[in-house]
Amino acid sequence: MSSPRLVLKSSAREVSFGYDECVALPNAAQVGDVGSLVPGRAGRAVRLSALLASAGASAGAGHLHVSSRDPAFAVSIPLAEAEGAVVVYALGDGPLPESKGGPFRLLVPGHADECVHVKQLARIELSDRPGRDTRPKDDAEHAKLHKKK
């Protein structure tokens, strides 16, 4: 069985990363403890900016389209709102477990909407316009989302 992959797509190209590729990224791209950025979270991460650079992020891109492995959940945010974002890929000595939102989880430190912390991250696309966004629009929708899990 192959290890899970995170796909990043820009107008220039599409690349994918697995656990081993994330581990191999330079130290400058690594965050040893995401709890220092997002209190209450744990794990090792890579900076989203490093992953986007690998995908050939273009100057015209102004939005991130983020997809979970759950096809019902997607987020679209302005790229500027994702500044400082990280992708958690490890916990302890191994991959981030599914029970913690793995194998990949997007964390956007300081963002007002916790739903941008996408669990089971599968794909990130750069675009020049907003895309599909299924986040709850109010507290009642948010509560309903968490009730069905």
Q: pLDDT of 59-102, one tens digit each?
A: 678 899 999 999 888 999 999 999 999 999 999 999 999 999 99
Q: Which domains are assigned to the chain?
A: 6-147 (3.90.420.10)
* Better pLDDT: 12 or 42: 42
- Enclosing H/E stretch for 74: strand 74-78
- Nearest alpha-carbon partner for 125 in 56, 23, 47: 56
SS3 52: helix
Alpha-carbon span 11 to 46, nearest angstrom: 22
Half-sphere exposure of 66 (CA within 13 A, CB side): 28
Q: Indicate the pTM of the whole model.
A: 0.89
Alpha-carbon span 38 to 25, nearest angstrom: 21
Whether the per-residue pLDDT at 48 is higher than 60: the answer is yes
